[in-house]
Amino acid sequence: MPQPPKTLLPLGAALMVGGLSISAFAAEGDYPKKTPVLPTIKVEAGAEAPQDGYRATTTRVGKTLQDPHDIPQAVTTVTNQMMEDQQVSSLKDALRNVAGLTFNAAEGGRAGDNMMLRGFYTFGDIYLDGIRDTAQYNRETFYLEQVDVLRGAGAMLFGRGQAGGVINLVSKAPYLRDKGKITGSIGMYGYYELTGDFNKQITDTIAFRFNGMKRFDGGWRKNPEANDRPTVERDGVAVSLGMGLNTANELILSHIYTTVDDKPDYGVSFDSTTRKPQEKFPVKYYWGTNSTFDKGTVNISTASFTHRFSPASEWRTQVRYADYDRSYWARTPSLTIAPNALAMSCTPTGCNGGPTRESHYKTITVQTDYNHRFHLFGMNHDFLLGGEYLNEDSFRHSLQNFGGATSANPPRFLPYKANTTGVPVEFNSDTYAVYVQDTVEFIPKWKLTLGGRRDEMRATYSSATSPKLNYGEWSTRAALSYHFSEQSHFYVASSSSFSPTADLYQLTVQPLPPERSNVQEIGTKWLLFDGDLAVRAALYHAEKKWERNADLESTAAILSKKRRTNGIELELAGRVTPNWEVFSGLALMDAEILEVAENINATTGVLTSANPDYKGKRPRNTPAYTFNLWTTYKLPYGWKIGGGVEVKGKRYGYSPTGTGPIPTLPGETKFHPNTAPAYMRWDAMIAYEQPKWAMRLNVHNVFNTTYYDAIYDNGPFTIPGQRRRVIMTAEYKF
């Protein structure tokens, strides 16, 4: 594993000295009796994490281990138990349970997990155990304990990001107990999955954990000429070794390795005469073949060390090296040309082989946090001090064409064979950050949270027009909380975030201000039925300036100069009775472009504005409403039944940067972009569970509804969702 930069060593030492000085200033005898103490943290670190059911009771999304109920910001957690009950394997399927979240199709170099939250991009806001994981790949769930979604601007806690929120994946960790589980599933369209989760206690303080997965999904769409289908083929292992578990000094070493060998499906085209998904060809038609491919390898190595000075003082440092390789050749759908055996779109003048990509992305991260709870001047404090270093090294280019450009000699591409002509897009960057936050209980039941973070980034690019990027930005977080009782929490919060011009996007021709986001939120959280059921509500206003384009191929980098989303969210998660569990969320979003885009012409250097008629329009892929419900009930003799529904309103796909006319229906003037229709998908489950084994039958899309769950936000196409699929799962525990 590469060593962290030597320049960072003083940072850890400074935090240690700072922690010792604060501990000395606030003597042990000054701790209030009700100050949270270490045993909860020690139990989580050294023993198996409890099965929370559908209500999560612990999270680190706030940079310290705590109950989501206590965080003065909206938090949604998808637990491992719910993912198992629903038989989900991918992160995308797990996130169907998050209200206000929608999916983007994989065009313009953004193939992989690509979601919108509260109407804002999240591809730069995906984290693994609190460390940035922004590479474009498809994430699995076999190694995840839970998925935490912190809504609102999270840059103060996590670094540069969007207004929608942060998606933090929590990996499974070793614990002090011998336990194992093997799960096998088979289903329609050739689906099968085999997973294993094995934990071995080696000594009183050392344990090892292994998770493995192999999955194949044949897909329900088909190329009628080639007789080929889009497929998903994934493999992975995750290993971790914990030393010093349940002691003052804990070290966890882990490595995650996953591979992808898919046949990508880019969906169907929109019809410009109706602005709906095309109906000229059957929805089951697939334009790719077995020659097209999407291959990738991910390696993530992490070392995490925690030192506990006292029951109220903890210093945690993580070091990570990650390497992501990706290579794909896809076939975009056509509105006029039927699928063919060559996976080509050919006209008399030539053949279009479809989008290709070769990318290699490496990161080195050092992150350190010091948490300390103390009593000072008659007030309780929960203090956080931290720092981070991130190095990113990225390369991307098109693939080399080993064929021609005609039907007689069509294009042909091979995995990992980058183009020998043209200029690849490369960048190397170093980011340094420091952050501090304090939560003060200034009078009983009232808490004030104030935090700030400074990020400095220095980057070099292969771009001839914008070869460098240097910036320094502040992010802030503030909240006022009132705990009427241990079961209630009212809060008012404000947070800000930013994103530079090109760490994730296409470079602007000339430097323009970074994205800036501000979010204000009023919310309440309640714990009912002795804490078994969590209920929350939030009202928010999110605003973003200088919004960047997510499409790596776009020359118009700015999407809008200013836009906002006003929204209401309602959510409940947990047990209504000992046998009845429920998870549900409703999000209502009122989104609007407030100021249209301004872009610099690459040839003339003139600043041009988008058509002013885009002002006041609903932004892309931001439905007016989403709703999700999943519930299970335990019957006598080990039986359990469950079911749920996913609902999303209509979503637009268009480019708001153009100076030409706004999209309309033919012969009309009213704004009418390409639109993925609203949909409702129902799922069901029945299981028979015993202490050592279980059987489960899942039915996805019970009523075999045709729906479109992902949209390419620039507008050309949309991807149909899963048709009815039945999966049988067997599970053995030991």
Average pLDDT over residues 413-428: 91
Average pLDDT over residues 439-455: 95
| SS3 (DSSP) at 43 | helix
Q: How far does CA 362 lie from the centroid of its chain?
A: 19
Q: Which of 723, 733, 734, 633 is nearest to 687 (CA)?
A: 633
Task: Provide the pLDDT for residue 461.
Answer: 84
Torsion of CA 553, 559, 561, 566, to 10 degrees: -140
387 neighbors 11 (Cβ within 8 angstroms) = yes
Task: Provide the pLDDT for residue 351.
Answer: 78
Q: Hunting for tokens 């708001």 — which residue is that?
A: 656
Burial-class residue 407 by CB neighbours within 10 Å (0-12, 13-18, 19+).
Answer: middle
Q: Rounded distance, CA 414 to CA 399, Å?
A: 7
Looking at 61-128, list the stretches that DSSP marks H as alpha helix, in order from N- to C-terminal side: 80-86, 91-94
pLDDT exceeds 60 at position 25: no
Q: Hunting for tokens 């080696």 — which residue is that?
A: 202
Q: pLDDT category, 505, cuts 50, 70, 90?
A: low
pLDDT exceeds 80 at position 597: yes
Range in 139-148, 229-238, 336-345 with the lowest mean pLDDT: 336-345
Angle in degrees, CA 134, 136, 137, rounded to 5: 115
Take residue 589 and report the two structure tokens written for it: 């979003």
Q: How many CB atoms lie within 10 A of CB 5?
A: 13
Task: Provide the pLDDT for residue 153.
Answer: 80
pLDDT exceeds 80 at position 37: no
Angle in degrees, CA 664, 667, 673, rounded to 5: 10
Q: Hunting for tokens 């990650």 — which residue is that?
A: 322
Q: Rounded distance, CA 487 to CA 445, Å?
A: 12
Strands (DSSP E) along 635-724, which ranges? 639-648, 651-653, 674-676, 679-689, 693-700, 708-711, 717-720
Q: Amino acid identity, residue 322?
A: A
- The CA–CA distances, whole Å, from 430 to 3, 427, 433 equal 15, 10, 10
Take residue 400 and report the two structure tokens written for it: 């080399």
Task: Provide the pLDDT for residue 425.
Answer: 85
Q: Which of 346, 424, 441 is nearest to 31 (CA)?
A: 441
Find residue 726's DSSP bridge partners.
699
Greatest distance between any 2 Cα atoms in the chain: 85
Q: How far does CA 209 lie from the centroid of its chain?
A: 24
- Average per-residue pLDDT for the chain: 88
561 neighbors 598 (Cβ within 8 angstroms) = yes
Handedness of CA 74, 75, 78, 79 (dihedral sign): negative
DSSP string, 17-36: HHHHHHHHHS-GGGS-TTS-
Task: Provide the pLDDT for residue 555.
Answer: 65
Q: Which of 698, 592, 528, 619 is nearest to 188 (CA)?
A: 698
Q: How many CB atoms lie within 10 A of CB 624?
A: 16
Take residue 531 and report the two structure tokens written for it: 């804490």
- The CA–CA distances, whole Å, from 228 to 288, 291, 436, 686, 718 equal 8, 9, 55, 33, 20
Q: Which of 57, 71, 160, 48 is nearest to 481 (CA)?
A: 71
Q: Rounded distance, CA 699 to CA 701, Å?
A: 6
Q: Rounded distance, CA 530 to CA 231, Å?
A: 46
Q: What is the 3-state secondary structure (H, E, C) of 100-159?
A: CEEEECCCCCCCCCCEEECCEECCCCEEECCEECCCCCCCECCCEEEEEEEECCCHHHHC
Q: Rounded distance, CA 107 to CA 551, Å?
A: 7
Show the domains of the chain with their CATH numbers: 6-733 (2.40.170.20)
Take residue 243 and report the two structure tokens written for it: 């030393």
Q: How far does CA 604 lie from the centroid of its chain?
A: 38
315 neighbors 16 (Cβ within 8 angstroms) = yes
Task: Provide the pLDDT for residue 155.
Answer: 76
Write the pLDDT tens digit of every residue in 94-136. 999 999 999 988 654 556 788 899 999 887 889 999 999 988 8
The share of the chain scoring above pLDDT 70, in percent, equals 90
Q: Running DSSP on this structure, what letter comes out for residue 246?
A: T
Write the pLDDT tens digit of every residue in 353-410. 888 999 999 999 999 999 999 999 999 999 999 999 999 999 999 999 998 888 788 8
Q: pLDDT category, 604, cuts 50, 70, 90?
A: confident
114 neighbors 661 (Cβ within 8 angstroms) = no
Q: Running DSSP on this structure, what letter comes out for residue 7?
A: G
Which contiguous run of DSSP H or E holds residue 620? none
Find residue 185's DSSP bridge partners.
193, 729
Take residue 118 and report the two structure tokens written for it: 């509260």
Tell how strand 345-347 and strand 115-117 pair up.
Answer: unpaired
Q: Rounded distance, CA 459 to CA 160, Å?
A: 14
Tell how strand 679-689 and strand 693-700 pair up.
Answer: antiparallel
Write the pLDDT tens digit of every residue in 675-712. 999 999 999 999 999 999 999 999 999 999 999 999 98
pLDDT exceeds 60 at position 47: no
Q: Running DSSP on this structure, what letter comes out for residue 228?
A: B
Q: Rounded distance, CA 112 to CA 109, Å?
A: 9
Q: Which of 596, 356, 396 is nearest to 502 (CA)?
A: 396
Q: Which of 105, 108, 161 is nearest to 130 (CA)?
A: 161
Q: Which of 472, 477, 438 is nearest to 456 (CA)?
A: 472
Task: Provide the pLDDT for residue 603.
Answer: 74
Q: Rounded distance, CA 344 to CA 47, Å?
A: 55
Range in 48-57, 219-228, 492-501 with the lowest mean pLDDT: 48-57
Structural Rg of the chain based on CA atoms:
25
Q: Amino acid identity, residue 118?
A: R
364 neighbors 327 (Cβ within 8 angstroms) = no
Range in 9-23, 102-116, 254-268 with the lowest mean pLDDT: 9-23
Q: Amino acid identity, residue 665?
A: L
Q: Rounded distance, CA 237 to CA 257, Å?
A: 5
Range in 82-91, 424-433, 550-559, 595-604 with the lowest mean pLDDT: 550-559
Task: Provide the pLDDT for residue 443.
Answer: 95
Q: Rounded distance, CA 213 to CA 232, Å?
A: 13
The size of the chain, in residues, is 734
Task: Provide the pLDDT for residue 102.
Answer: 95
Q: How far does CA 73 lie from the centroid of its chain?
A: 18
44 neighbors 58 (Cβ within 8 angstroms) = yes
Q: What pTM did the predictor assign?
A: 0.90
Find residue 502's DSSP bridge partners.
none
Task: Provide the pLDDT for residue 550.
Answer: 66
Q: pLDDT category, 714, cuts 50, 70, 90?
A: confident
Phi, psi of 351 (to 5 degrees): -120, 140
Q: Hunting for tokens 């693994």 — which residue is that?
A: 128
Q: What is the 3-state secondary structure (H, E, C) of 581-646?
A: EEEEEEEEEEEEEEEECEEECCCCCCEEECCHHHCCCCCCCCCCEEEEEEEEEECHHHEEEEEEEE
Q: Rounded distance, CA 392 to CA 390, Å?
A: 7
